[in-house]
Amino acid sequence: MLMYCWMIMIFMFVSGMYVFCSKRKHLLVVLLSLEFMVLIMFMMLFMFLNMFDYELFFSMVFLVFSVCEGALGLSVLVSMIRTHGNDFFQSFIVLQC
């Protein structure tokens, strides 16, 4: 049963990687797939630490860093919408100053 849960989590992580790596038009979809992968990694970390009866303090540190990553992604999204008017990747050029 435990191996079945690990296989489901690995499949969910790979599906999140597929959505992240495939060519998408919107920045919000990319940020949502990143958050999905972070949540799956948190679940895997939580199960791993419970399996060996370790302290769960590291999972709290991981959650703090994932919240910081999410806030940074949302700030980039808001600044992109303010400067370019939408969140399409095609509407802005990265090399433009």
pLDDT given at position 55: 87
22 domain-assigned: yes
Express each pLDDT in 26-40 by its tens digit: 888 889 999 999 999
57 domain-assigned: yes
29 domain-assigned: yes
The number of distinct structural domains making up the chain is 1
18 domain-assigned: yes
21 domain-assigned: yes
Query: Which residue range(s) make up the domain with 34?
Result: 12-71
Q: What is the DSSP string of the chain?
A: -HHHHHHHHHHHHHHHHHHHHS--SBHHHHHHHHHHHHHHHHHHHHHHHHHTT--SHHHHHHHHHHHHHHHHHHHHHHHHHHHHSS-BGGGS-TT--
Global pTM value:
0.84
Does pLDDT of 97 surpass 80?
no
Determine contact, residues 86/21, Cβ cutoff 8 Å: no
Does pLDDT of 56 surpass 70?
yes
51 domain-assigned: yes
Does pLDDT of 92 surpass 70?
no
8-state DSSP, 89: G
